[in-house]
Amino acid sequence: MANKPRITKAYTLGFAAAVTMVCSVLLASAATLLKERQDQNIQLDIKYNILSVLGLAESKDVEAQTIFDLYDNKVKTFVVDVEGNKVNDRKAEEIDPRAEPDLLPVYARQDGDVITAYCIPTQGKALWSTVKGYIALEQDLNTVKGITFYSHGETPGLGGEIDKEWFTEAFKGKTILNKAGEIVSVEIVKGKMRSDEKNPEHKVDGISGATLTTKGLNEFIKSTLEKYEPFFKTRRGGTS
C-alpha cells in the first residue's frame, strides 16, 4: 500500500506526457496539411482586394478560381524603383516593402492593349496597428478609382470603420494633385466637411472618435503617393 501513491503519480505524469505528445503531433500535422490552403486563402484575399479597387470584382461570393483567373487575365504587374524606372528582373508579387523599400510593386488594369487604371499598395501605422491597403488611380493618375484597407487592428466601431464601404466609397472621384500638379493626396478631415470647405476635391469626411487612426492614414497614404510620384510622372507624360 505504501507504494501505491508513487505508482499513481507516475502513471498520471506518463499519461499526461503521452497526451501532450499526441496532441503536438496532431497539431503539427494539421498545420502542415492546412498550410497550402492557408497560403491560397491569403493570395485569394490579396488578389480580390486588388481586383476590387481596380473595378474588376464586386463580391467575394464566387469560386476562388474565378478570382485567380480574372486576376491573371486582367491585371498586369511590374516593379519600379523610387526614381520611376522599371525593374525588369523582379515580380510585383515577390516584393516585401519592409525588406526592399526602394522597390515598388504596381498592379495595372489592362483592357485589351490599354492600361486603364493603376493600383499600388499602401501601409503604415494608425492608432493601434499597422494598416494595410491598396489605392487605385484612374488612367490620368490623378483621380482615385478605389481604396481598400484589408488588414488592421483598429478599434471596432471607431477606427475599425476604415474598412467599411461607406468610408472607402467616399474616396472615389477625389483627386490627388492640386492645380500646380503637386501631390496633395486625399485628406480625411476631422468630422464632417463643412459646406464651405476649401478644396473638397481632395477631402473626405472623417470618422467620429477615430482622429488618431485617420491621422495615421493621412500620413501614410500621402507618403505612398509621393514615393510613387516619379513613376506616375513618366506615365502622365506618355512614357511606357
- Residue 213's Cβ-side half-sphere holds a number of Cα atoms within 13 Å equal to 23
Query: For residues 164 and 154, is the Cβ–Cβ distance under 8 A?
Result: no
State which amino acid sits at residue 33: L
- φ and ψ of 73, to 5 deg: -85, -25
Share of the chain residues as helix, strand and coil, in percent rounded to the nearest 5: 45, 20, 35
Q: For residue range 115-171, what is the model confidence (pLDDT) as tens digits?
A: 999 999 999 999 999 999 999 999 999 999 999 999 999 999 999 999 999 999 999
> What integer best gives the mean pLDDT of the chain?
88
Nearest CA to 128 out of 217, 42, 45 is that of 217
Backbone CA torsion sign across 21, 27, 30, 32 = negative
Domain coordinates in residue numbering, the chain: 48-236
Q: For residue range 198-208, what is the model confidence (pLDDT) as tens digits?
A: 999 999 999 99
Query: Could you tell me the pTM of the whole model?
Result: 0.82
Percent of the chain residues past pLDDT 70, beyond the cut: 84
